[in-house]
Chains A and B, each alone.
Chain A
Amino acid sequence: MPKDALFTDVAINICSNKGFTLHNFIDSGAFKETYHISSNQSNYALKVFNFKNANERSEREINAMKRLNSDNIAKLIEVDNITYNGNEYLFILEEYLGGGTLSSLLQHQLLQRNEILQIGSDIINALLFTYKINVVHRDIKPDNIMFRDDTSQAVLVDFGLVRDLNETSLTQAFIPRGPGTAYFSSPEQLTNKKAMIDWRSDQFSLGVTLCVALFGLHPFEKPKINETIDSVSSFCSCNEEIKKQLIGLNLFPIIKMLEPFPVKRYRTPDTLIYDWKSL
C-alpha cells in the first residue's frame, strides 16, 4: 500500500500526461514511492519523489545512475519534474524488473551453489562499474537485488544511498553509524569510519547477502540481531562454521569478501572477478 495517496495521484497524472498505463504500487521509501507502469508493451518502474524532500541524496542517486551503464544495474530512462496541485514532484523512469527481488525469492527457498555463483557474478560485475566511477552503493541486500524476468539476470537497484567518493560526504562525522541497512552493512559503515568506505564495503555486504541466500544465516550470526550487528561492528572475524561450509562448497572468495578490515578483502573488482571465475 502507498504511504501517501497523493503520490498515487501524482503517478496517475504522470501516466496520463506521458501516455503510460499505471498497473500497481511496488514499494515505498522514506521520500519516494515506486509504481509499475507500461507503454506499448514495455514495462517501467516509476519512482515519484516529493520535490521538497528530493534532497542532495536524490540528486546523487540520479547522477550516479546516469553514469552507470551496466547490464547488471537498473537502467535509468528518464528524469523529470511535474507540478501537481501546486506542489512540485521529481520522478524517475527506470527499467521494470519483472523477476522480483532476491528477498522475495528467499521467502520460498534458499539458493543452491550454482545460483549463488550466477548472482555473485552479476553483482560483482555491477560493482566493477560502480568502482570505475568511484561510487559506493552502500545498501547491497536481498531487497536491492532484482531479476530480469526474461533472463533471470541479477540486477543491482536503488542507489538512494550511493556515496560518490569524488564528492564531500553528506554524513556527519559525529553520527555513530553511517547510512545503510545495519544487518548487511560492513564494519566501517556501522562504525561510520568514513575514510575507510569504498567499493570494498559493498563487497562485504554482497558477501553477507550471498551467505544469507545460501545458508539462511548471517555469517556473523549471534542469537540476537543486535548482537550480530555488534559482532560485525567490533571488527570480529566471521563464524568459523560458516567459513568451513564455504570452503566445503569451494566458495572461498566469500570468506575474503567478509574480512572485517577492507585491506584484507579484494582490493579491486578485477581480482575478485578473477577468483570468482575460477570457481
Chain B
Amino acid sequence: MSVFHQIGHHSINLVKEELLHGYQGIVLSPLNNSEEEITHHNSNSFKKFKKIFDPQLYFPKTERSGLKNWCYFPNDFDTADLTNYVWWNSLCDNLFATAKRTTCDAICSPVIIPKIFSGDYYRHTIEVGNYLYNKSTEDELDFYQTVVLNMDIMAEHNQAEIISSIITQTNSNKVYLIIKSDIEPRRELQDVNQIVGIMKFIRYLSDAGISVLVGFCSSEFLLWKYAGATAFASGKFFNLRRFTSSRFDEPSGGGGQLPYWFERNLFAYLREGDVLRLKKEGLLNECYRNNPYSVEILKKLDDQKGEPWISLSWKNYLFSFYSLDKDFEDKKDFPKFLAKAEKNWLEAEDNSIFMEEVRNNGDWIRKWRISINEYNKAFD
C-alpha cells in the first residue's frame, strides 16, 4: 500500500515537509506549476519520490491556470474533434516528450470529462491510453490508464460490471482512478448504491490483475482500500472538496478558509470549537499524540492566543491520511473501526455533544457500514 501527494494550489511546500515522511510519491499537476518549476523540483526536492504526471485535461478550458503554457496542450483544444484518434495520438506524443523532459517516472493517460459517461467514451479513453502505453513502455516510462467514474451513474444496475469490462481492455496493469461527484464541500459520500458500485468496480479491476491508484481522495479512501485499491493520492484541500467540476472553476475570491481537524474516534473533520469540546470531555483519539501536527495544534489552541492553524490543519490531515493507510493494512479492521466510530457518535449525542456544522453528525458512518455489507454480499 502506498500514499501519494496530490499536488494542487500552493502545495509544493507540503511535499518538502520532513515529518510527512510516509508518502511514496507525488501526482504532479500542470495547473499550478510551470514545466520549468516541475523540472526543477523533480531533479531536486522531489528526487526521492515516484513522480507521476497527470496531464489534467478533464475540463477542457484553454484559459485554465497554467495549463495552456505547457507544450503538450494543443492550441486547438476548444475546436478540435475530440473523437479523432490522430489528434489524440499527436497529443500523446507531446505528452510523452513532456514527461521525459520533466524527468517524471510515470504518466497518466489524458482523458476529458464527457457529457455522457458511455461505453464508447470509455472505449475511446482505452484506445488513446493504449497508444500512450505502447510508447511509454518502450522507453521504460511507467504508465497509468486514467479512468473517471461518475458517482451518479455508478448506482445503476451492472454499471460496475460494464465499465470494468471495457477498462480491462487496457494494456496496462495500472489504473489511475478519479471519482467525480457533485458532493458539496465538507460533506461525506452517503449514497450506498453509488459507493457499492465503485467498490465493485475496484474489486473487478483488482481481480483482473490491475492495481488501482485512487486520486483526489479524502477519508473515504479506506472504502476503496477495502475493495482492493492499492494506492491513494490526497492533497491539502481534499479534507474539504473532492473531484467536482466546480473545483476546477477559476477561484471566485473572498471567503477565508477554515481549519479542520481529522478525528479518528468519529472519523470526521472537526472545527476548532468541536476539537476543544471533545478534548475537554477526553473524547479525542489518543493517536493524536503520534501526529506532531495535532500536538502543535492543540498547543496553539490551549494557548488561546487565537493564532491561525490552517497550515497546520493541512499537515495534520496529510499525516492522518498516511497513518490511516498504514494502520488499516488488514482490511478486516476497517468495519470494526467504523462500528466503533458509530458508537462514539451515539455516545457524543447522548451526552449532548454536538458539532458546529449541522450536518456533521456521523450519519455517513452507517451508510458506509451498509455499503461494506452490501459489497461483501456481492462477493460471497
Interface residues of A (CB under 8 A from B): 173, 188, 193-196, 198, 200, 235, 261-264, 267
B120 and A195 form a contact (CB under 8 A): yes
Residues of A within 8 Å of B164, CB to CB, are 261, 263
Q: Per-position contact with A for B117-129: 1 when CB-CB < 8 Å, else 0?
A: 0111011000000
B161 and A198 form a contact (CB under 8 A): no
Residues of A within 8 Å of B165, CB to CB, are 188, 196, 200, 261-263
B209 and A194 form a contact (CB under 8 A): no
Interface SS, B side: helix
Residues of B within 8 Å of A200, CB to CB, are 165
Q: CB within 8 A of B158: which of A173, A194, A235, A262?
A: A235
Given the known inter-chain contacts A235-B158, A263-B161, A263-B168, please indicate yes or no for A196 contacting B119, CB distance below 8 A.
Answer: yes
Residues of A within 8 Å of B122, CB to CB, are 195
Min CB distance B162 to A, Å, is 7
Q: List 20 A-B contacts (CB under 8 A).
A: A193-B119, A194-B119, A194-B120, A194-B123, A195-B118, A195-B119, A195-B123, A195-B166, A196-B119, A196-B162, A261-B161, A261-B164, A261-B165, A262-B165, A262-B168, A263-B164, A264-B207, A267-B168, A267-B208, A267-B209
| Complex Cα–Cα for A124 and B162 (A) | 24
B169 interface residue per 8 A CB criterion: yes
A263 and B204 form a contact (CB under 8 A): yes
Q: Which 10 A-B pairs have the closest CB atoms?
A: A195-B119, A195-B123, A262-B165, A261-B161, A263-B165, A263-B164, A263-B204, A267-B208, A196-B165, A195-B166
Q: Per-position contact with A for B97-122: 1 when CB-CB < 8 Å, else 0?
A: 00000000000000000000011101
Residues of B within 8 Å of A, CB-based: how many?
Answer: 18
Min CB distance B117 to A, Å, is 12
| Complex Cα–Cα for A244 and B119 (A) | 34
Residues of A within 8 Å of B166, CB to CB, are 195-196
| Complex Cα–Cα for A200 and B161 (A) | 14
Residues of A within 8 Å of B123, CB to CB, are 194-195
A265 and chain B: residue at smallest CB distance? B165
Given the known inter-chain contacts A194-B119, A195-B122, A267-B168, please indicate yes or no for A261 contacting B209, CB distance below 8 A.
Answer: no
B126 and chain A: residue at smallest CB distance? A195
Task: Give the A-B contact count at a CB cut-off of 8 A.
Answer: 41
Interface SS, A side: helix
Residues of B within 8 Å of A193, CB to CB, are 119, 162
A198 and B169 form a contact (CB under 8 A): yes
Beyond the given A261-B158, A261-B161, could you list 7 further A-B residue pairs with CB under 8 A, ordered by the A residue number? A194-B119, A195-B119, A235-B161, A263-B168, A264-B204, A264-B207, A267-B209
B204 and chain A: residue at smallest CB distance? A263
Min CB distance B208 to A, Å, is 5
| Complex Cα–Cα for A73 and B169 (A) | 24
Residues of A within 8 Å of B120, CB to CB, are 173, 194-195
| Complex Cα–Cα for A193 and B120 (A) | 9
| Complex Cα–Cα for A263 and B166 (A) | 8
Q: CB within 8 A of A261: which of B119, B162, B169, B205?
A: B162
B171 and chain A: residue at smallest CB distance? A268
| Complex Cα–Cα for A264 and B118 (A) | 20
| Complex Cα–Cα for A263 and B207 (A) | 9
| Complex Cα–Cα for A263 and B169 (A) | 9
Min CB distance B293 to A, Å, is 41
Residues of A within 8 Å of B158, CB to CB, are 235, 261
Residues of A within 8 Å of B209, CB to CB, are 267
Residues of A within 8 Å of B118, CB to CB, are 195
| Complex Cα–Cα for A127 and B72 (A) | 38
| Complex Cα–Cα for A267 and B206 (A) | 12
B208 and chain A: residue at smallest CB distance? A267
| Complex Cα–Cα for A173 and B165 (A) | 18
| Complex Cα–Cα for A196 and B208 (A) | 15
| Complex Cα–Cα for A87 and B123 (A) | 41
| Complex Cα–Cα for A264 and B162 (A) | 11
Residues of B within 8 Å of A262, CB to CB, are 165, 168
Residues of B within 8 Å of A264, CB to CB, are 161, 204, 207
| Complex Cα–Cα for A258 and B213 (A) | 30
Q: Which of B175-222 contact A (CB under 8 A)?
A: 204-205, 207-209
Residues of B within 8 Å of A198, CB to CB, are 169
Residues of A within 8 Å of B208, CB to CB, are 263, 267
Q: Which of A188, A235, A262, A263 has the most CB of B within 10 A?
A: A263
Q: Which of B166, B207, B209 has the most CB of A within 10 A?
A: B166
Residues of A within 8 Å of B204, CB to CB, are 263-264
| Complex Cα–Cα for A235 and B162 (A) | 11
Q: Which of B123, B165, B204, B207 has the most CB of A within 10 A?
A: B165
B120 and chain A: residue at smallest CB distance? A195
| Complex Cα–Cα for A196 and B158 (A) | 13
A166 and chain B: residue at smallest CB distance? B127
Q: Which of A188, A195, A198, A200 has the most CB of B within 10 A?
A: A195
Min CB distance A196 to B, Å, is 5
B123 and chain A: residue at smallest CB distance? A195
| Complex Cα–Cα for A188 and B169 (A) | 14
| Complex Cα–Cα for A173 and B209 (A) | 31
Residues of A within 8 Å of B168, CB to CB, are 262-263, 267
| Complex Cα–Cα for A262 and B119 (A) | 14
B163 and chain A: residue at smallest CB distance? A263
Residues of A within 8 Å of B169, CB to CB, are 198
| Complex Cα–Cα for A201 and B116 (A) | 25
Min CB distance A229 to B, Å, is 19
Min CB distance B71 to A, Å, is 28
Residues of B within 8 Å of A261, CB to CB, are 158, 161-162, 164-165
Min CB distance B49 to A, Å, is 30
| Complex Cα–Cα for A194 and B168 (A) | 15
B166 and chain A: residue at smallest CB distance? A195
| Complex Cα–Cα for A130 and B373 (A) | 41
| Complex Cα–Cα for A193 and B204 (A) | 19
Min CB distance B106 to A, Å, is 22
Min CB distance A238 to B, Å, is 16
| Complex Cα–Cα for A263 and B161 (A) | 7
